[in-house]
Amino acid sequence: MLAAATGTQLQQITTRTVPVAVSTSGPARSGVTGPACAVRAVRRCLRCEKGWTYAAVGGPDWHRKYHLLRRHIEAGHDPTTWHRDLTINGVKAGGWLHRQFTAWTRLDDGQRTLLTHLGLTPDQVPLPVRKTSVTPGTRTRRSFHQTAELLRLFVQRWGRPPSARESMEVDGEHIMIGPWLCKVRTKQNLRQLTEEQIQLMMEILKDERESPGREPSAEEPRIISEIP
């Protein structure tokens, strides 16, 4: 490779994404410090020449993301630990690489060669979807009817409606049934409930008021004209 470069003027070689300038005149060692540096310079030029060809095939955006992954690997990041939602400098690199794997057989030979050189092939980098665990604070969204049925369970269990700050446990989930009932009462006052919702709530709370042997407290109205 050194012999091929001896006596040759290496002009500035530029890809669309990675500009590299290397200049030597005379013997291959002129302008560099030692044979090892000369070898690296020539190899770098050859890689750039290949990159120019591949850039014409893949386009500048393809090579921009390819070199982004290359630098990420050179920084010490193991591709086998990557996930599909990998983001580098604001670029969704994991999703881009997954699309390359999906269309692997349709890629240009040069593109597959570049990716393979980095060890980025469908059989080497699985790119799994990151599993999202449910945090303890995550709440299940329930319909009005579903929460009303939970209220019915509370009333049947305790023989009274919940106070403003009471809660209940259902399948390990902490449900603020008291604040929910307060919101329902507010919506009733603002006429924001449907007739079906009003009838359901009156049925649940009326069952509680008409329980045998239970005397309504002084704070509870004896006539149900709206949701208590």
Tens of pLDDT, residues 40-62: 544 554 455 454 444 455 689 99
Kind of pairing between the strands at 168-170 and 173-175: antiparallel
User: What pLDDT, on the 0 to 100 scale, is given for residue 171?
Assistant: 77
As given in the structure block, the two tokens for residue 31 are 């302008």
Nearest Cα to Cα of residue 4 among 20, 37, 28 = 28
As given in the structure block, the two tokens for residue 27 are 């013997």
User: What pLDDT, on the 0 to 100 scale, is given for residue 162?
Assistant: 93
Q: Which residues of the chain have pLDDT under 50?
A: 1-32, 35, 38-39, 41-42, 45-46, 49, 51-55, 133-134, 210-228
* CB neighbour list of residue 128: distance below 8 Å, 6 or more residues apart: 83, 84
∠ CA 197-202-204, nearest 5°, is 95
Nearest Cα to Cα of residue 32 among 48, 47, 50, 10 = 10
User: What pLDDT, on the 0 to 100 scale, is given for residue 20?
Assistant: 43
Model-level pTM greater than 0.85? Answer: no
